[in-house]
Protein backbone atom coordinates (compact mmCIF):
# COMPACT_ATOMS: atom_id res chain seq x y z
CA UNK A 1 0.00 0.00 0.00
CA UNK A 2 1.28 3.43 -0.91
CA UNK A 3 1.65 5.54 2.23
CA UNK A 4 1.47 8.98 0.61
CA UNK A 5 -0.12 9.08 -2.81
CA UNK A 6 -0.45 12.00 -5.19
CA UNK A 7 -2.56 12.35 -8.29
CA UNK A 8 -1.97 13.00 -11.06
CA UNK A 9 1.65 12.02 -11.55
CA UNK A 10 1.95 14.29 -14.58
CA UNK A 11 -0.07 17.39 -15.37
CA UNK A 12 0.31 19.46 -18.53
CA UNK A 13 -1.82 22.55 -18.87
CA UNK A 14 -1.91 25.98 -20.39
CA UNK A 15 -1.28 29.33 -18.79
CA UNK A 16 -4.29 30.83 -17.11
CA UNK A 17 -5.95 27.53 -16.28
CA UNK A 18 -6.94 26.37 -12.80
CA UNK A 19 -5.80 22.93 -11.66
CA UNK A 20 -5.72 20.78 -8.55
CA UNK A 21 -3.30 18.16 -7.26
CA UNK A 22 -4.60 15.64 -4.78
CA UNK A 23 -2.73 14.07 -1.89
CA UNK A 24 -3.81 11.30 0.43
CA UNK A 25 -1.95 9.58 3.25
CA UNK A 26 -2.98 6.36 4.97
CA UNK A 27 -0.49 6.62 7.83
CA UNK A 28 -2.78 8.30 10.32
CA UNK A 29 -0.51 11.33 10.44
CA UNK A 30 -1.66 14.68 11.82
CA UNK A 31 0.51 16.97 9.75
CA UNK A 32 0.72 17.27 5.97
CA UNK A 33 2.91 19.41 3.76
CA UNK A 34 3.33 20.63 0.21
CA UNK A 35 6.81 21.20 -1.24
CA UNK A 36 7.83 22.61 -4.63
CA UNK A 37 10.98 21.44 -6.43
CA UNK A 38 11.98 23.71 -9.28
CA UNK A 39 14.18 23.02 -12.29
CA UNK A 40 17.30 23.59 -10.19
CA UNK A 41 16.16 20.77 -7.90
CA UNK A 42 15.77 23.05 -4.89
CA UNK A 43 13.03 21.82 -2.52
CA UNK A 44 10.97 24.58 -0.93
CA UNK A 45 8.22 24.26 1.66
CA UNK A 46 4.94 25.80 0.57
CA UNK A 47 2.37 24.81 3.16
CA UNK A 48 1.98 22.77 6.29
CA UNK A 49 -1.34 21.63 7.75
CA UNK A 50 -1.75 20.28 11.27
CA UNK A 51 -5.15 18.84 12.10
CA UNK A 52 -6.68 20.83 9.26
CA UNK A 53 -5.17 24.13 10.38
CA UNK A 54 -2.61 25.96 8.30
CA UNK A 55 0.55 26.47 10.32
CA UNK A 56 3.00 27.54 7.61
CA UNK A 57 2.59 29.61 4.49
CA UNK A 58 5.99 30.45 3.06
CA UNK A 59 5.51 33.52 0.87
CA UNK A 60 3.53 31.53 -1.65
CA UNK A 61 1.33 33.51 -4.05
CA UNK A 62 -2.32 33.46 -3.08
CA UNK A 63 -3.06 31.73 -6.39
CA UNK A 64 -2.03 28.61 -4.49
CA UNK A 65 -4.53 27.38 -1.93
CA UNK A 66 -4.28 24.20 0.12
CA UNK A 67 -7.53 22.48 0.92
CA UNK A 68 -7.86 19.78 3.54
CA UNK A 69 -11.26 18.06 3.59
CA UNK A 70 -10.07 15.73 6.35
CA UNK A 71 -6.91 14.72 8.18
CA UNK A 72 -5.89 12.22 5.50
CA UNK A 73 -6.08 14.60 2.56
CA UNK A 74 -4.34 17.82 1.60
CA UNK A 75 -5.09 19.00 -1.91
CA UNK A 76 -3.33 21.84 -3.69
CA UNK A 77 -5.41 24.11 -5.88
CA UNK A 78 -3.70 26.53 -8.24
CA UNK A 79 -5.51 29.39 -9.97
CA UNK A 80 -4.39 31.26 -13.08
CA UNK A 81 -1.38 29.07 -13.75
CA UNK A 82 1.83 30.76 -14.87
CA UNK A 83 4.88 29.44 -16.69
CA UNK A 84 6.90 29.78 -13.49
CA UNK A 85 4.62 27.35 -11.72
CA UNK A 86 6.16 24.52 -13.74
CA UNK A 87 7.86 22.27 -11.20
CA UNK A 88 7.52 19.01 -9.32
CA UNK A 89 5.20 19.26 -6.34
CA UNK A 90 5.65 16.87 -3.42
CA UNK A 91 3.18 16.10 -0.70
CA UNK A 92 4.40 14.77 2.65
CA UNK A 93 3.01 13.83 6.04
CA UNK A 94 4.31 13.23 9.55
CA UNK A 95 3.26 12.63 13.12
CA UNK A 96 3.65 15.44 15.62
CA UNK A 97 7.06 15.62 17.25
CA UNK A 98 10.41 16.88 16.13
CA UNK A 99 11.77 13.39 15.55
CA UNK A 100 8.92 12.12 13.45
CA UNK A 101 10.19 11.59 9.92
CA UNK A 102 8.37 13.06 6.96
CA UNK A 103 6.97 10.61 4.45
CA UNK A 104 6.88 11.96 0.92
CA UNK A 105 4.83 11.07 -2.10
CA UNK A 106 6.49 10.54 -5.46
CA UNK A 107 5.58 13.94 -6.77
CA UNK A 108 3.43 15.56 -9.42
CA UNK A 109 5.27 17.03 -12.39
CA UNK A 110 3.38 20.13 -13.47
CA UNK A 111 4.17 21.65 -16.86
CA UNK A 112 2.57 24.94 -17.82
CA UNK A 113 2.74 25.83 -21.51
Residue 101 CB, nearest distance to other proteins (Å)?
4
- Judged by the rule CB under 8 A, the positions of this chain that interact with other proteins are 4, 30-31, 33, 35, 41-45, 48, 50, 55-56, 90, 92, 94, 96-99, 101-107
Residue 4 CB, nearest distance to other proteins (Å)?
8
Distances (CA, A) of 64 to 26, 75, 113: 24, 10, 18
Task: Please compute Rg for the chain using Cα positions.
Answer: 13
Residue 80 CB, nearest distance to other proteins (Å)?
25
Cβ contacts of 108 within 8 Å, gap of 6 or more: 6, 7, 8, 9, 10, 11, 21, 88, 89, 90
Considering beta carbons, is residue 78 or 108 the nearer one to other proteins? 108
Amino acid sequence: DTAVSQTPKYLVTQMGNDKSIKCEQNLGHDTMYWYKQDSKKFLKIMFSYNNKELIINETVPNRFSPKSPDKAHLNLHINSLELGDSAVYFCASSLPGHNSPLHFGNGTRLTVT
